[in-house]
């Protein structure tokens, strides 16, 4: 019991010896030395989106103005219904899997 009291006394004294240190410009000195930030993530997202749209338009023009869409529709039209179901499910699973993967990696990044 006496030992416990001594420990409490010692801890209390140690904590008393740790007064709050006024910032006194410390934070602003550190802030001034922080490395220059990269472009914001919004700017990066806008640039990425712009390039994606340009690439899509180019692909559309190069591929004959969308005739490939008609070809693909025609290809699907002659397939049996069961095959179409399978393709639909496979696409759904693929998209879901990718979304889960990116969501998990993003949350892991935020947690770490």
Q: What do you get for the CA distance between the two ends of the chain, in Å?
A: 42
**Cβ closest to other proteins, residue 19 vs residue 80:** 19
CA 48/CA 40 separation, integer angstroms: 13
**Cβ closest to other proteins, residue 36 vs residue 81:** 36
Contact footprint for other proteins (CB under 8 A): 6-7, 9-11, 13-15, 17-21, 23, 26-31, 33-35, 37-38, 40-41, 109-112
**Cβ closest to other proteins, residue 16 vs residue 73:** 16
Contacts of residue 76, defined as CB under 8 A and 6 or more positions apart, other chains included, come to 84
């Amino acid at each position: 019991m006496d030992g416990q009291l001594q420990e409490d006394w010692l801890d209390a004294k140690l904590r008393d010896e740790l007064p709050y240190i006024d910032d006194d410009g410390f934070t602003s000195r550190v802030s001034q030395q922080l490395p220059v930030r990269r472009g914001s993530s919004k700017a990066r997202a806008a640039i990425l989106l712009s390039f994606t749209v340009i690439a899509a338009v180019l692909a559309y023009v190069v591929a004959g103005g969308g005739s490939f869409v008609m070809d693909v529709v025609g290809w699907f039209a002659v397939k049996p219904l069961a095959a179409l179901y399978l393709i639909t499910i496979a696409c759904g699973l693929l998209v879901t899997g990718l979304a889960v993967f990116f969501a998990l990696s993003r949350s892991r990044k935020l947690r770490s």
